[in-house]
C-alpha cells in the first residue's frame, strides 16, 4: 500500500506541474506575448523529454521509473533542480527486490529531501538541488539521495530512524523509521551524512551477500 501511495502522489505531482505550465502559457497568450509562449513550450518540452528519456533508459522497473518521473515533476513545482546521476543504471534482474519496497524507500527519501529544502527555502543565491543515484550490478543495488536542504544536527542524526522522532511537529516521524525497517527486513543497510545548512546524503545498499531475498 505504501508503494501505491507514492505512485499516486507522483501522478498527482505530474498533474499539478502540467496545470502550472498551462497557466503560464495562458498568461503569455493573454498578454499577447506569442513568441515567448512558443519559446516556453519548446523549452519545457525539451527538458521534460530529456528527463523522461534518461530515466526510462536507465531504469527498467516501470514502478521505479514512474516514481522518478513523478518526483522530477514535483521538483519543478518546488523550483528544485532534479538530477539523475550519470552512471545510474538499474536492472531489476540484478537483485530481485520487490518494486513496492524500492518505491517506498526512494519515495520517502526524496520526500524528506523536498521537505528539508522547503524549510531551508531559496534565500541563498544557488538553486536547491536533488541528486539521485541508482546503481545495480549482479547481486547488489546502491541508492543515493543527496539534497542541499537544511541538514541534520549531530544530536538529531542519532535519532532520525526512531519511531515517532521528528523535528516537524506531532504526528510525524514514521517515514524514516518505516524505511529502515523495510531495508533491515531484506538485509540492507542505510547510512546518512549531513551538515547543517549545507545538505544531507542518504546511502542505501542492498546485497545478496548479506541476505538472500
Residue 172 predicted with pLDDT over 50: no
**Region 116-140: what's the mean pLDDT?**
83
Domain residues for 26?
Answer: 2-207
pLDDT for 10 equals 59
**Counted domains in the chain:** 1
Q: Is residue 164 in some structural domain? A: yes
- The CATH number assigned to the domain holding 179 equals 3.30.565.10
**Region 97-106: what's the mean pLDDT?**
94
- The distance from CA 27 to its chain's CA centroid, rounded to whole angstroms, is 30
**Region 137-142: what's the mean pLDDT?**
95
pLDDT for 9 equals 60
pLDDT for 68 equals 93
Residue 74 predicted with pLDDT over 90: no
Q: Is residue 98 in some structural domain? A: yes
Task: Check if the beta carbon of residue 149 is closer than 8 Å to that of residue 199.
Answer: yes
Q: How far is CA 195 from CA 19, 41, 200, in A?
A: 36, 38, 6
48 backbone dihedrals φ, ψ, rounded to 5°: -65, -40
- The distance from CA 193 to its chain's CA centroid, rounded to whole angstroms, is 17
More confident residue, 192 or 170: 192
**Region 45-50: what's the mean pLDDT?**
71
**Region 116-122: what's the mean pLDDT?**
73
SS3 content of the chain, % helix, strand, coil (to 5): 50, 20, 30
pLDDT for 5 equals 62
Q: Is residue 107 in some structural domain? A: yes
Q: Is residue 212 in some structural domain? A: no
More confident residue, 55 or 5: 55
Q: Of all residues in the chain, what percent carry a pLDDT higher than 70?
A: 80
**Region 32-44: what's the mean pLDDT?**
82
pLDDT confidence band for 122 (50 / 70 / 90): very low
Give the whole-angstrom CA distance, residue 100 versus residue 92.
12
Residue 150 predicted with pLDDT over 70: yes
Q: Is residue 30 in some structural domain? A: yes
pLDDT for 144 equals 98
Q: Is residue 213 in some structural domain? A: no
Amino acid at each position: 500500500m505504501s508503494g501505491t501511495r507514492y505512485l499516486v502522489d507522483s501522478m498527482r505531482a505530474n498533474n499539478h506541474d502540467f496545470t502550472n505550465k498551462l497557466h503560464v502559457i495562458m498568461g503569455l497568450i493573454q498578454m499577447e506575448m506569442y513568441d515567448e509562449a512558443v519559446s516556453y513550450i519548446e523549452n519545457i518540452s525539451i527538458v521534460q523529454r530529456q528527463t523522461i528519456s534518461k530515466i526510462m533508459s536507465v531504469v527498467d522497473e516501470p514502478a521505479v521509473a514512474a516514481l522518478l518521473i513523478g518526483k522530477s515533476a514535483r521538483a519543478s513545482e518546488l523550483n528544485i533542480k532534479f538530477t539523475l546521476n550519470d552512471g545510474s543504471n538499474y536492472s531489476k534482474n540484478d537483485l530481485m527486490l520487490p518494486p513496492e519496497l524500492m518505491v517506498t524507500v526512494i519515495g520517502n527519501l526524496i520526500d524528506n529531501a523536498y521537505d528539508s529544502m522547503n524549510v531551508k527555502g531559496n534565500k541563498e543565491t544557488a538553486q536547491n538541488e536533488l541528486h539521485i543515484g541508482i546503481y545495480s550490478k549482479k547481486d547488489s543495488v546502491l541508492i543515493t539521495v543527496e539534497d542541499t536542504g537544511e541538514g541534520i544536527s549531530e544530536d538529531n542524526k542519532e535519532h532520525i530512524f526512531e519511531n515517532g522522532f521528528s523535528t516537524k511537529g506531532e504526528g510525524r516521524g514514521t517515514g524514516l523509521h518505516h524505511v529502515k525497517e523495510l531495508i533491515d527486513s531484506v538485509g540492507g543497510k542505510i547510512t546518512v551524512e549531513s551538515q547543517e545548512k549545507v545538505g544531507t546524503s542518504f546511502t542505501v545498499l542492498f546485497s545478496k551477500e548479506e541476505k538472500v531475498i
